[in-house]
């Protein structure tokens, strides 16, 4: 499980992180640019997504069609996404084509045309995506719960807001491009059979003279929680609960992660057993640990028939409270076994590794090896987890339901 991770920071600030995976012919890469949703102007959520779209509509010497054609000929399967902190350009291709891909991305980042005449098409495309999220109650729950549990602008829907779109104009996009498409706080990661030395000369030539800007992320204050209901005519009620946990930069992070695994990892987990198997309250129930840099939440969600939704919420809340009463050794053993098989699988996937090393670099300033993660998970004990639950009591719960009728938060009484 020995990993070969190399990193370098260019004088202009661009961090380059590479994991060498000698046995694969695939190559995956991620560009993390400081142009995520928190950097948009207030009331203009969607600017980042429109920028990401326009970046591929022509750059350097290439028109939009030529640019996309070139990426296809290089076998690049690209994907763009917006997180609170970053505008992310990722892709996978054959390792043999990777070096040739770099000049195309250097053009996209440094010399995008951002054609004004295509702004309307990009915005109306985004409008359609956001509208179809509105039609899906599960999507709606996820987005609206994050909005409530994280403070603005960290909780706003990263892809954008329907209501904000009319206010966005080309000038907003240009401003965001200017502040975010620069090397300060930008990260480029690669997972492939190539060594850093295979990539660095090309990267230095393409990006060494890229001029840095200055950018600061907005603060991330604490939140307090509460209960809200959104009315939606549907056969099922969607239930979401979010509450604070140790984030990925915190020494307690893996303990938070283990608690969530005990709640929701696999078919022996507590939520699966108590909510689904024993009571048949719902078919889909899960808990995840969602971490920003500096704040994290446990996010539980379930969808239940409307008439059993109240009971589902009650049982979920009881399970969360019951954690501190005790954890069986066997629960922790199962959690460790599942973690180890997940780590073994992550090791085979270039795209999973490219995303992980970039995220680690952003959140931690270094890359956690799978070996060290495995060791830290192996070392966890039940008393560790119970002590964590003392330090991070169940508090500031944000509850959200989406369905025909509101429920009652019986824990608040």
For 117, 141, 220, the CA distances from 67, given in Å and listed in that order, are 17, 37, 38
Give backbone dihedrals phi and psi of 188, rounded to 5 degrees, phi first. Answer: -120, 125
- Given a contact cutoff of 8 angstroms between Cβ atoms, the answer to whether 404 and 234 are in contact is yes
- Residue 127 in tokens: 């409008």
Cβ closest to a second copy, residue 324 vs residue 334: 334
Closest approach of Cβ 19 to a second copy, in Å? 14
Cβ closest to a second copy, residue 62 vs residue 297: 62
Q: Which residues bind a second copy (CB under 8 A)?
A: 1, 23-26, 56-57, 64-65, 68-69, 71-78, 92-94, 97, 120-121, 124-129, 131-132, 134-138, 234-236, 265-268, 273, 276-277, 280, 282-284, 303-305, 330, 333-334, 337-338, 340-342, 344-345, 347-350
Cβ closest to a second copy, residue 283 vs residue 366: 283
Closest approach of Cβ 229 to a second copy, in Å? 17
Closest approach of Cβ 267 to a second copy, in Å? 5
Cβ closest to a second copy, residue 318 vs residue 337: 337
Cα–Cα distance between 327 and 26 in angstroms, integer?
42
Cα–Cα distance between 281 and 248 in angstroms, integer?
32
Q: Is 226 left (phi over 0), alpha (psi -120 to 50) or beta?
A: left
Cβ closest to a second copy, residue 224 vs residue 405: 405
Closest approach of Cβ 408 to a second copy, in Å? 21
- Residue 389 in tokens: 């639950």
Cβ closest to a second copy, residue 58 vs residue 244: 58
Closest approach of Cβ 106 to a second copy, in Å? 19
Closest approach of Cβ 100 to a second copy, in Å? 11
Cβ closest to a second copy, residue 55 vs residue 177: 55
Cα–Cα distance between 257 and 263 in angstroms, integer?
10
- Residue 150 in tokens: 């994280």
Specify the long-range contacts of residues 215-220, CB closer than 8 Å, at least 24 apart: 215/34, 215/39, 215/179, 215/180, 215/182, 215/184, 215/185, 217/34, 217/38, 217/39, 217/85, 218/38, 218/153, 218/154, 220/150, 220/151, 220/154, 220/292, 220/294, 220/295
Closest approach of Cβ 353 to a second copy, in Å? 11
Nearest partner of 3 among 248, 335, 380, 354, judged by Cα? 354
């Amino acid at each position: 499980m020995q990993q070969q991770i190399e990193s370098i920071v260019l004088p202009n600030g661009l961090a380059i992180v590479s994991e060498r995976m000698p046995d694969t012919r695939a190559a995956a890469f991620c560009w993390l640019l400081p142009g995520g949703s928190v950097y948009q102007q207030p009331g203009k959520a969607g600017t980042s997504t429109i920028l990401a779209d326009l970046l591929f509509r022509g750059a350097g010497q290439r028109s939009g069609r030529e640019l996309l054609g070139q990426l296809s000929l290089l076998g690049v399967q690209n994907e763009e996404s917006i997180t609170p902190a970053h505008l992310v350009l990722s892709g996978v291709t054959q390792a043999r084509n990777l070096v040739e891909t770099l000049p195309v991305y250097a053009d996209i980042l440094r010399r995008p045309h951002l054609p004004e005449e295509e702004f309307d098409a990009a915005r109306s495309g985004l409008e359609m995506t956001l509208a179809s999220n509105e039609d899906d109650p599960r999507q709606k729950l996820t987005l609206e719960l994050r909005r409530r549990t994280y403070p603005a602008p960290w909780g706003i829907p990263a892809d954008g807001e329907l209501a904000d779109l009319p206010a966005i104009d080309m000038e907003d996009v240009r401003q965001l491009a200017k502040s975010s498409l620069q090397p300060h706080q930008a990260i480029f990661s690669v997972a492939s059979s190539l060594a850093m030395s295979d990539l660095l000369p090309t990267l230095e030539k393409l990006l060494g003279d890229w001029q840095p800007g200055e950018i600061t992320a907005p603060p991330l204050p604490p939140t307090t929680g509460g209960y809200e209901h959104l009315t939606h005519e549907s056969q099922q009620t969607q239930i979401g609960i979010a509450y604070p946990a140790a984030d990925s930069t915190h020494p307690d992070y893996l303990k938070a992660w283990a608690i969530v695994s005990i709640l929701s990892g696999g078919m022996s987990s507590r939520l699966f057993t108590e909510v689904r198997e024993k009571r048949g309250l719902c078919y889909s129930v899960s808990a995840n640990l969602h971490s920003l840099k500096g704040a994290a939440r446990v996010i539980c969600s379930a969808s239940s028939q409307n008439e059993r939704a109240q009971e589902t919420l009650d049982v979920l809340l009881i399970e969360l409270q019951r954690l501190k009463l005790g954890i069986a050794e066997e629960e922790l053993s199962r959690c460790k076994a599942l973690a180890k098989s997940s780590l073994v699988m992550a090791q085979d996937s270039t795209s999973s590794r490219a995303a992980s090393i970039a995220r680690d670099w952003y959140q931690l300033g270094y890359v956690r090896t799978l070996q060290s993660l495995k060791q830290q998970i192996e070392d966890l004990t039940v008393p560790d987890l119970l002590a964590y639950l003392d330090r991070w009591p169940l508090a500031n719960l944000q509850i959200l339901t989406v369905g025909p009728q509101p429920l009652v938060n019986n824990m608040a009484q």
